Structure 1
Amino acid sequence: MAADKLPSLVPTPANSQTTKGPDNIADGGIHLYFQVNGSPADVMTAYKAALEEKGWTVTTMVTSGGQGGGGATYTGTNGGAYGVFDGGGYSTNTYLDVCAWPTKPANPNCSRGDR
């Protein structure tokens, strides 16, 4: 997959309040950041469905939460593309960092964006 096609594979979460990117990252990848109005559990559940609608196969899910906060980290593939989708927050504020590469890099690190 060509790197310039990656943004078309990344859905914008419903109820996004802020969107930053795409910014170029190592290994020909892109990084996007979203601030979303909604609880972390609801936003990440909906985002998983949006990823699947865009053709992603979500292969790893790690969830955390409690006391009104929480989040999830997903990894997935879409054809040859590889992505890391890391979201979390508290109450009705969810922050989502998305990194996508044309192929899985040796170190698929998706650093959290500036908040």
Structure 2
Amino acid sequence: MLIYKIFRADEWRALRAEKVSQGAPVDLADGYIHFSTAEQAPETAAKHFAGQDDLMLVAVEVDRLGDALKWEVSRGGAEFPHLYRELRLEDVAWAQPLPLSAGAHQFPAGME
């Protein structure tokens, strides 16, 4: 199963350069890295990245994260995946741009 993290371009560049990331400022403040499932990702984009361009959608295989990944109740009572360690570049299954078109982010077809 894949989970997803939306990175701003500078955050993605930093992960690629440094090979690890503690996440975005909200992740640092909360003490874990926020992820979303395929079903949750569009709402996450709309709520936290509305109107923002130059984003990257990063997919991570759940099995790579081990016990550091916790599923916790968050927005609307839904369980969201939270990573309680740094994200390593080697954890990333794939990454691709998340374009903005007519005010909405365009997610890739076939996200699982």
Q: TM-score, normalised by structure 1?
A: 0.30
Judging by fraction of residues, say which structure has more helix: 2
Higher-strand-fraction structure:
1
Query: Higher RCO, 1 or 2 (CA under 8 Å, sep at least 6)?
Result: 2
